[in-house]
Structures are given as structure tokens and as C-alpha cells.
Structure 1
Amino acid sequence: MIQLILMFSTWLSATVFHALSGIICITAILGYGFRQETGTEVGKMLLIGFILYILPVLSGWAVMWLETIKIRLMGD
């Protein structure tokens, strides 16, 4: 049951966070391109976008880890 809840939350967070990180990264690049943001601000925005992108990936690793533990406990 815990694995199913984690899988659903991973899917939901991946959808939301990947959309947000894409918007943030595009905004950062366009802001720098149109000279609205400085290089340090763009770097901060890109870092935040990367963090939002990597969170669902880490959650997916946790789901795989739980599945591995479940398989080991149940046997082959």
C-alpha cells in the first residue's frame, strides 16, 4: 500500500514539478536574453528549476528501493 501511495505521489509531483521547472528555466533564459535579469539571478533560477526537476527523480529512486526490499523479503 505504501508503495502505491509513493508511486502516485511520484507521478503527481513529477507532472507538477517538471512543468514548473520548465517554466522557471525558460523564464530565466528569456530574462537573460532580453537583459531583464543578471547572470547571478539566472543562475539561482536555473538552480531552483533543477531542484524542482530532480525531486521526483529522487522519489522514484525511493519507490524502486522499496520494491527491492519487498522482493528480498518475499524471496525470489
Structure 2
Amino acid sequence: MSLTHQIADIVIGGLLAGVATFVLGAVVQPYLAISMGAFFAAMYYFSRNPWGSPNGAEYNDAIDDVYDRFLP
């Protein structure tokens, strides 16, 4: 995995954390929303299969193909 792919994973994880925190912040306590946002970002970054599907390798290959198409 190249450095640009890793940076893209970090950026997407950060966006996921921010959106999840913002959405959950309206429903639950702020500390729980922040924790859940960080959990979702970590789950994406470390597994890149956040939904736990048995087809995780296929999803990761598809994400890598998108990265190859748009990143140097």
C-alpha cells in the first residue's frame, strides 16, 4: 500500500469520525458521540471493512481500485 493510499485512508477515517460525531452529537451525550466517531474511524482505518461482511477482501480490492484510479 502506497503512502498516498494510507493518507487517503486517514482522511476518509477523519471525515467518517467528524460526520459520525456531528450526527450522533444531536442524539447522545457529546463524550459518547466523540468516542463513537473515533471508533468508526478506527474501524474503517484498521479493517477497511467496517460492516463486517464476509466479502471483506472484495471490498478492500474495490477501495484500492478507486484509489488507483484517482491517486498517483
| TM-score, reference length from structure 1 | 0.39
* Structure with a larger share of its residues in helix: 1
| Larger gyration radius, structure 1 or structure 2 | 1
Q: Which has the higher contact order (CA 8 A, sep 6+)?
A: 1
| TM-score, reference length from structure 2 | 0.41
